[in-house]
Structure 1
Amino acid sequence: MANTASCCDTCTFYIYDDEYECYTCDRDLDEDEMMRFLTDQHYQCPYYRSGDEYRVVRKQM
């Protein structure tokens, strides 16, 4: 199972870029952060925010 804090597919900042015609991260990682992200299997992105809009609703139920 993938680490939730490094799963870009579920992150709020993972958006579709019309110019590049693909999904990209909206946060600017510096060189060190990008290198850790690409090489470290256990890297936890400090900018990760769950894009699950129904998370709050499930807690209320």
Structure 2
Amino acid sequence: MALKPKTSVLQIRLDDDLLSEFRRLCDYRGETVSAVLRRSISNHNEHWQERERKDAKVALARGK
């Protein structure tokens, strides 16, 4: 993932136990919570964009 300046903030509310376990997982992996979440969001976006491209190709092939 390319490094870009971080200019936006995302806030979410989580159950305390869920956040605690997620932090523990990130610590175990030697990663920050923010880095893991940024990578996850980026992966989801890439998956969605690929799906959109495939859907557009199918629609073109069908003449829509």
> TM-score scaled by structure 2?
0.34
Is the helix fraction higher in 1 or 2? Answer: 2
- Asked which structure has the greater RCO (Cα within 8 Å, sep 6+), the reply is 1
Rg larger in structure: 2
> TM-score scaled by structure 1?
0.35
